[in-house]
Chain A
Amino acid sequence: MKHAEKIALENALQTHYQEIRRTEMQPSDQARQALLAQLAAQTAEQERERSRFPTREPAPQGTAFDFVMTAARFLPWQLWGAPAAAVLVAALAAAHGLSSSQILVTLSGLGPALAIACLYGITRARSHGMAEIEAACSHGSIALASARLTLLCSASFAAIAAACALCSDIVPAFAAATVALAPYLLASAGGLLVARKVAAHNAALASLAWAAGVLAACFVLSAACPAAFGQAAIWIWAAVAACSALWFAREALLWVSPFPPAIIANAQEALWN
């Protein structure tokens, strides 16, 4: 359909609906609207009174560790495969006698790959509209989000540590850790940021797209500028990792924050406009 035709059809549709609206509202509807407005006002006052005395049951007794372990049981088992696969890849890379720069490229790719699995586990509740249900449960959605973040990030950090340890004979541990951590933290922080900013149903997809972008950028960097993975560039990686760590800490806190700052409301508002 041509653009002009589409515009004409849209205008015709709007005129048609305006015509219908003009004819269908009756005086009895207006009287009903006034009554409903009064009833709504009463209901709102009742709801406000009720909200002062929440009826939600107290959370079951147990330590935070018990709660996190229980949350771990409800995570899909596939999410635990990513850290295991990352360690396996690092072990294979070390066993095949790759050069130090090749090992560093591999480690830089492992970070965003781990972030993809981690972000999917963290953001999928928002994407699938589960936050409302979780908010109504006795522990609340914030506790669940914190537990997921703790579990998946701990697993990722453990996998990165193991990968660095496996490659320590070829690459110094500090160099391996900075090159692996910088892309991981960059992918995770950015992923959480975009997941907060986009519409709820697109949260997981947007965060995965960001992490995949970081992964692609790592490989493009290795092809376009091999010197970036040399020993001379390690301090640059360390600086990026430090900045990314601060950004990730901020995003993680915002993700589990009970009162998200105005930036979220503004972003959502912009989306709805």
Chain B
Amino acid sequence: MREPLRVIQGRRKGRALVFAGKQLDGEWAQRIVNEHYADVLAYCRRHAPCAEDARDAAQETFLRFIRSMPSYRDQGKPLALLLVIARHACADLYRRRGRTWEMLDENLPAPESENASTTNMHEALAALPAEQRELLELRYDQGLQVNEIAKVLGVSRFSASRKIAKALEALKTELEKDAERGDL
């Protein structure tokens, strides 16, 4: 199994850019796209104005990521930086369209499963504020750690942890409300 990519150095060393001991080259860029395209597209689908825009935002994200590498100095998982860029790319799309930053519920892909618990979860998530939905998505869909989420959202680690706990509480309340409605 190949070891996951990790940005060890994002600066010039001699005349080449070095990442995890390898030069920044076409093969490296292809590997980044192949490993993270599904994650970035999933994020953009939930945060871009429409499905076509989501694909454009995902493409723009990877190109900005590769162009930013010569001046990138921080270290960590590439996915965290990719999601920061994707977040800005989606915001840019809304700005160009003159709309506010708001996730459109109709763009959320409805699960095809007949499973009632999955449908309840979908409805409960839709009832949460956009910020809480995004936090849960970053934590449980993208699998980011709390410190990575803090970097993506530009908040402190403590604040991210507190907000995630609050979002889980809110989700639990929504699920209980759904269950009560179901009983009635």
Q: Which residues of A contact B (CB under 8 A)?
A: 1, 5-6, 9-10, 12-17, 19-21, 23-25, 29, 32-33, 36-45, 47-48, 50-52, 54, 131-132, 135-136, 199-202, 259, 264-265, 268-269, 271-273
CB of B121 within 8 A of chain A?
yes
B32/A43 in contact, CB under 8 A: no
A13/B121 in contact, CB under 8 A: yes
Across-interface contacts of B13 in A (CB, < 8 A): 259
Which among B9, B24, B169 is the interface contact of A44 at CB below 8 angstroms?
Answer: B24
Which among A5, A16, A47 is the interface contact of B70 at CB below 8 angstroms?
Answer: A47
B144 to chain A minimum Cβ distance, whole angstroms, is 10
Query: Which residue of the partner chain A has the closest CB to B77?
Result: A272
Report if A41-B76 is in contact (Cβ < 8 Å); known contacts: A17-B137, A52-B15: no
Which among B6, B33, B121 is the interface contact of A12 at CB below 8 angstroms?
Answer: B121
B42/A43 in contact, CB under 8 A: no
Across-interface contacts of A43 in B (CB, < 8 A): 29, 63, 66-67
A272/B63 in contact, CB under 8 A: no
Query: Which residue of the partner chain A has the closest CB to B148?
Result: A272
Across-interface contacts of B109 in A (CB, < 8 A): 20, 23-24
Chain B interface size, under 10 / 10 to 19 / 20 to 34 / 35 or more: 35 or more
Across-interface contacts of B179 in A (CB, < 8 A): none
A17 CA to B55 CA, complexed, in Å: 19
A41/B29 in contact, CB under 8 A: yes
Q: Enumerate the 6 nearest inter-chain pairs by beta-carbon distance, A residue then B residue, closest first.
A: A41-B26, A44-B29, A17-B141, A40-B29, A268-B75, A13-B140
Instruction: List 23 A–B pairs whose Cβ atoms lie within 8 Å, in order of A's numbering.
Output: A9-B168, A16-B111, A21-B38, A23-B109, A24-B42, A32-B55, A36-B33, A40-B29, A40-B33, A41-B25, A47-B66, A47-B67, A47-B69, A48-B25, A51-B16, A132-B73, A135-B73, A201-B151, A259-B11, A264-B75, A265-B8, A272-B75, A272-B77
A47/B24 in contact, CB under 8 A: yes
CB of B171 within 8 A of chain A?
yes
B121/A16 in contact, CB under 8 A: yes
Query: Which residue of the partner chain A has the closest CB to B39?
Result: A21
A21 CA to B45 CA, complexed, in Å: 11
B172/A20 in contact, CB under 8 A: no
Query: Which residue of the partner chain B has the closest CB to A13?
Result: B140
B156 to chain A minimum Cβ distance, whole angstroms, is 6
Which among B30, B73, B117 is the interface contact of A131 at CB below 8 angstroms?
Answer: B73
Binary contact track B111-122/A, C-beta < 8 Å → 1, others 0: 111010110011
Across-interface contacts of A264 in B (CB, < 8 A): 75
B145/A12 in contact, CB under 8 A: no
